[in-house]
Structure 1
């Protein structure tokens, strides 16, 4: 059996910086309130009418990852795109990337696992490569949240958290079993699906016609804004993060002390700090950038992974752990020998 290895990383975030003070001008909030609860100082918002769409940002991140991988775009055999904010209801952004990069006819798969999306996408790519089906797979996580948030005091509990951006990785086949992705671990608990959800438009709830009808009647429908039971999500996240990281370590005969770098999904700095303390990791062993970008959902891990690598915090031979928890509930981990 082959091993899959990450050979190229790239990320892109919009130029438009939105600080907590900027948000305080349009809703009842302030810098101290946001930082105390989330650790976020600023985030990036895409400007409407620019190329910074979900697929557009994904393309920009992918170009960097492909160049760093040292391969040609036509060496890509398959595309996996993780997002909760696609350009269109359908088709998904995977085919948009294939078009914009002018890649030969290949398969394109979209993953809808929200904050766990990139971890799920890496797991799928890993299996395709290990079985010999594909050699080079482009994996992208990209999100454009800002255009769909309730930017009022009513929605501040959710809206102050999220930002826009994209990250990408190129995985390739390797015969060296001592390096690469050692294992991936995926879980879900659908009974809590509506604790963190956006329920409209949806075939089973309220469809576009219902929303338009309410608008014409002068009624405001908030079902097309994301809803989150923050405390419940937090309590579940800290438990599942710990479980799935330990699951991965144990499967590979590793322990907490073997972790060289943990890249957690950037959901909330307080969650990451809780996990860091529980695992006895130093600041140099955990990479966080939520302070600068907010929660970019499926893009958060590839953005953070790229930055950590760029800054020389990940080196050959390091044990790198990726872990995520989010809507669904879904969660997962990836154990890598770099």
Structure 2
């Protein structure tokens, strides 16, 4: 059996920076209120005049990752694209990236697991490589949230959190024992689906129904989150997924060199950090400047940590995420 190893990383975020103070122009909020609850200072929102979309950002991040892997687009055998905000209801973003990068007619798979989307996508790619089916897989996490948020005071509890961006990793076949992805661990609990949800448009709530109702109070097409409920479950499931990954590889929390948590809320990351008694230099957070970019958050953070020299050869790197579904999981990597 082969191992899969990250050989290239890249990310892209829109140029348009939206600070907490900028949000005061269209909702009742404050920098202090947002930072106290989320740790976020600013986020990137696509300028409507820009050509950026979820797929375009994914393609831009992918070009960087492929180049850093020392490969060309023709070396990629498969695409796994994670997002909750595709450019179209269908087809998905994976085939768009295949077209945008003018790749051969390779397969493209979309993963719809929201905040844990990149963790799930990495797990899928890892299995394809370990079984020998593919040699180089492009794994993408990309989100365009800003166009679909309720930016009024009514929606501020959710809309202040999310940002736009994309990240990509190239996963390649390796025969080096004990290096690369050691294991992945995935879970779900669908009974809590409505605690973090975007209900419509959907097959249960199509656009014509929304239009015919002519109800200005219909918020079904905006994201809903039961914040406290999600927070309590997140800190539990984050910890469980990390412990599960360590245990599977006969490792201890002291063996962790870098933890990259999903950037949902700085308070969640800080809680997990305290629970595992990890110093600041072993946990990487960038939610302060990007907000929650959902499927893109882990890969953007991983790329930045690597670019800043905070991840070195032979380091034990742990990726973990929790989100809508509920779904959660972890990836254990020996760099």
> TM-score, normalized by length of structure 2?
0.99
> Residue 123 of structure 1: SS of its match in structure 2?
helix
Q: Tell me if structure 2 keeps the 8 A contact 1:51–1:57.
A: no
Matches within 5 A, 1:15-26: 15-26=15-26
Q: Which residue of 1 aligns with 2:239?
A: 242
> Residue 172 of structure 1: SS of its match in structure 2?
strand
> Residue 95 of structure 1: SS of its match in structure 2?
helix
Give how far 1:239 is off.
0.2
> Residue 234 of structure 2: SS of its match in structure 1?
helix
1:192-215 alpha-carbon deviations (Å, 9 max, x no partner): 0010000000112x1011122234
Match of 2:248 among 251, 259, 269: 251
Matches within 5 A, 1:82-231: 82-204=82-204, 206-215=205-214, 219-231=216-228
Matches within 5 A, 1:310-325: 310-325=307-322
Q: Which residue of 1 aligns with 2:53?
A: 53
1:41-88 alpha-carbon deviations (Å, 9 max, x no partner): 000000124221000000000000000000010000000000000000
Q: Which residue of 2 aligns with 1:304?
A: 301
> Residue 128 of structure 1: SS of its match in structure 2?
helix
Q: Which residue of 2 aligns with 1:3?
A: 3
Provide the C-alpha distance between the structure 2 equivalents of 1:285 and 1:210, rounded to a whole number of angstroms.
50
Provide the C-alpha distance between the structure 1 equivalents of 2:51 and 2:26, rounded to a whole number of angstroms.
25
> Residue 7 of structure 2: SS of its match in structure 1?
strand
Q: Tell me if structure 2 keeps the 8 A contact 1:9–1:64.
A: yes
Give how far 1:314 is off.
0.1
Provide the C-alpha distance between the structure 2 equivalents of 1:111 and 1:225, rounded to a whole number of angstroms.
21
Provide the C-alpha distance between the structure 1 equivalents of 2:48 and 2:59, rounded to a whole number of angstroms.
17
Provide the C-alpha distance between the structure 2 equivalents of 1:294 and 1:45, rounded to a whole number of angstroms.
10
> TM-score, normalized by length of structure 1?
0.98
Which consecutive unaligned segments of at least 5 residues does structure 2 have? none
Match of 2:263 among 255, 261, 266: 266
Provide the C-alpha distance between the structure 1 equivalents of 2:177 and 2:327, rounded to a whole number of angstroms.
29
Provide the C-alpha distance between the structure 2 equivalents of 1:108 and 1:331, rounded to a whole number of angstroms.
23
> Residue 161 of structure 1: SS of its match in structure 2?
coil
Q: Tell me if structure 2 keeps the 8 A contact 1:37–1:270.
A: yes
Provide the C-alpha distance between the structure 2 equivalents of 1:140 and 1:272, rounded to a whole number of angstroms.
23
- 1:334 paired with 2:331, answer yes
Q: Tell me if structure 2 keeps the 8 A contact 1:11–1:64.
A: yes
Provide the C-alpha distance between the structure 1 equivalents of 2:30 and 2:328, rounded to a whole number of angstroms.
31
Q: Which residue of 2 aligns with 1:232?
A: 229
Q: Which runs of 4+ in 1 moved over 3 A?
A: none
* Number of residues of Structure 1 aligned to a counterpart in Structure 2: 335
Which consecutive unaligned segments of at least 5 residues does structure 1 have? none
Give how far 1:183 is off.
0.1
Give how far 1:291 is off.
0.1
- 1:73 paired with 2:73, answer yes
> Residue 98 of structure 2: SS of its match in structure 1?
helix
Give how far 1:325 is off.
0.0
